[in-house]
Amino acid sequence: MNPSVLDDIHPHSFEPYLHGLAGLAPSLPPKVRVNGVAPVGYEQALRDLGQKGPGPLAIYIHVPFCPTRCNFCACTTNVTHDPGTIDAYLDSLEDELGLVASHLGRGWAVNHLHLGGGTPNHLRDDHLTRLMEIVDDHFRVPESALACIECNPRRTSPQQLELLRELGFCSLSLGVQDLSWEVQRVIGRVHSAAMIRDVCGMARAAGFHNVSIDLIHGLPEQTEASLAATLEQVIAMEPDRIRCFSYRHVPSDFPHQAAINPQTLPGVTENFALFLRVVKDLTQAGYIWIGAECFARPGDEWAMAQAAGRLHRNGIGFTALDSGCQLAFGPHGNGEVGRLLVQNESDLGAWQRAVKAGHLPISWGHRLSDRDYQRRRAYEQLLCNLTLPRSSLDSLDEDLPTLEQFAAQGLLELTGDGLRVTASGRFLLRSLCARLERSLNWDCRPW
Ligand code: SF4
């Protein structure tokens, strides 16, 4: 995107959208239970997949443990320092992989493995090693696989990073959020820029091919000036990718967020201005804007895939690989197998009890109709590559009046070649696609 285009973007002109007045709610209800699928339906989907034979596969493993709870947290996690609790989790994880393999078959090649959380690197070295042994007992993770791990920079060490490389991880995602002391103090997550810089350097020295940094906009006490200072320091660390999500203050769902005084939060227009600052500063620094909230250096595979119109996404996030289907393990994991979307029990105890009873531990499932499946793929294409060819529009004929309305509002362009997201539409891309295909709003991992 030409940076000068951003000069024409003014937060106040987006207020009707930000307040949901223009038919585009800023966020939709997270999940509606529709045509629930019992575990037996998931078992059958795995058997059907197994009969088709090995194909590309992505695996997400949720590690639901942290050393402390950050005040802004909206993740499924548990604070523990008890090695026995983590041993018990690994026992259940082993059983869950065994259950899935009993339907799917063993030894499928994985082209994308992601350890998320929680804080996966809160696990001790022997726990991390055992976790990967469990994966290797059930699946085959070739050296060429993209293996990513989310890490809290405060919990890393050169030794741990070397172990992670030995275990096959090549991509590291660091949760930084903000570098301002005022913001860090209020969100309960304090670390210096120098420490983050050191961790980035250690990761590169250990041989990680890709180092990414996660930030959040809309945090308490955050101002445009403080965020600009954070961005300047992060840019100087030269991460391959930067992801910047919006903080959601929902203390009714996440009671620890009550520690944050809502008076210290930016309003919706101010929050939009914060994200505009992120887009301006990162694109001026040479980063390519990916999808709605991610940024990558020009040589990064996401940037190259987006430029070529072949970027994909799954429940883990963007990927340059077409993973076909995604299996998720651990509490709250989201999977997609064929037409079936499933989510595991979120509560650690409920997940463990289901696995112990020999059931696939899903708490929710939805079977997409053929039509909805095509719609999901079409809007994913728009989310990832910002265009939709005319041929894909045929599956969206009933959306045409809405698409034309968005085009009249300047958010999309409808041409003879198909559909294109405009610069303004880019800022509303996530809401726009989730409004049109509700299943996209059910994926709990970042987009
Ligand atoms: S590290 Fe992440 S998952 Fe853990 S408490 Fe903080 S925000 Fe939540």
Q: Summarize pLDDT for 168-192 with one digit per residue, the tens.
A: 999 999 999 999 999 999 999 999 9
CA of 232 to the centre of ligand 1 (A): 24
Q: Is any atom of ligand 1 closer than 6 Å to the C-beta of 90?
A: no
In a domain, 19, yes or no: no
Q: Do 240 and 296 form a contact (C-beta atoms < 8 A)?
A: yes
- Measured in Å, residue 156 CA sits from the centre of ligand 1 at 15
C-alpha 246 chain-centroid distance:
12
User: Which H or E element spans position 108?
Assistant: strand 108-109
If you take atom 3 of ligand 1, which residue's CA is the nearest one? Answer: 118
Tokens read off for 443 = 């994926």
Å from CA of 371 to ligand 1 middle? 37
In ligand 1, which atom is closest to the CA atom of 66?
4
The domain that holds 236 is classified in CATH as 3.80.30.20
Distance CA 143, CA 300 (A): 19
What is the C-alpha separation between 18 and 26, in angstroms, rounded? 6
Q: From the CA of 72, how far away is ligand 1's center (Å)?
A: 8
Verify whether ligand 1 is closer than 6 Å to residue 69 (CB atom): yes
Residue 175 lies in a domain: yes
d(CA 242, CA 246): 13
d(CA 430, CA 446): 11
- Over residues 290-311, the pLDDT tens digits come to 998 999 999 999 999 999 999 9
Contacts of 375 (CB under 8 A, 6+ apart): 395, 396, 399, 436, 437
Which residues, 6 or more positions from 168, have their beta carbon under 8 angstroms from its beta carbon? Answer: 113, 132, 141, 143, 145, 147
Q: Which of 156, 158, 114 is nearest to 323 (CA)?
A: 114
Q: Please give the DSSP secondary-structure letter assigned to residue 168.
A: T
Tokens of 357: 């009873």
372 in any annotated domain = no
Question: Does any domain span residue 425?
Answer: no
CA distance 50 to 84: 34
The residue type of 406 is: F
Q: What is the pLDDT along the chain (447 residues), one digit of tens a residue?
A: 766 778 778 888 878 777 776 666 655 445 544 456 777 889 999 999 999 877 789 999 999 999 999 999 999 999 999 999 999 999 999 999 999 999 999 989 999 999 999 999 999 999 999 999 999 999 999 999 999 999 999 999 999 999 999 999 999 999 999 999 999 999 999 999 999 999 999 999 999 999 999 999 999 999 999 999 999 999 999 999 999 999 999 999 899 999 999 999 999 999 999 999 999 999 999 999 999 899 999 999 999 999 999 999 888 889 988 767 999 999 999 999 988 999 999 999 999 999 999 999 998 888 888 888 888 889 989 999 999 988 888 778 888 888 898 899 899 999 888 999 999 999 988 888 888 877 777 664 444
The helix (run of H) or strand (run of E) holding residue 407 is helix 400-408
Question: Is position 82 within any domain?
Answer: yes
Ligand 1 pocket test, pick from 63, 65, 77 with the greatest ligand atom count within 8 Å of Cβ, gives 77
Q: Report residue 330 CA to chain centroid gap.
A: 16
Distance of CA 431 from the midpoint of ligand 1 (Å): 25
Q: Is 117 in the pocket of ligand 1 (CB under 6 A)?
A: yes
Count of domains for the chain: 1
Domain membership flag for residue 441: no
Beta carbon of 73 within 6 Å of any ligand 1 atom: yes
Cα of 378 from ligand 1 centre, angstroms: 33
- Is the CB of 119 inside a 6 Å radius of any atom of ligand 1? yes
Tell the residue nearest (CA) to atom 8 of ligand 1. Answer: 73
E strand intervals along 304-361: 312-314, 317-319, 325-329, 334-337, 340-344
Of how many residues is the chain composed? 447
Q: Does a structural domain hold residue 369?
A: no
Q: How far is the CA of 70 from the centre of ligand 1 (A)?
A: 5
Strands 412-415 and 418-421, sheet pairing:
antiparallel
444 CA to centre of ligand 1 in angstroms: 15
Tell me, using a 6 A CB cutoff, whether residue 230 lines ligand 1: no
Between helix 193-206 and helix 158-166 the angle, nearest 10°, is: 40
> What digits encode the pLDDT tens for the residues 22-40?
666 655 445 544 456 777 8
Cβ of 199 closer than 6 Å to ligand 1, yes or no, is no
Contacts of 58 by beta carbon, 8 Å cutoff, 6+ apart: 110, 111, 112, 113, 114, 314, 316, 319, 321, 323, 324, 325, 326, 327
Query: Does residue 414 lie within any of the structural domains?
Result: no
Domain carrying residue 324? 39-349
Q: Residue 323's pLDDT is what?
A: 67
In angstroms, the Cα distances linking 340 to 49, 113, 333, 384 are 11, 20, 14, 21
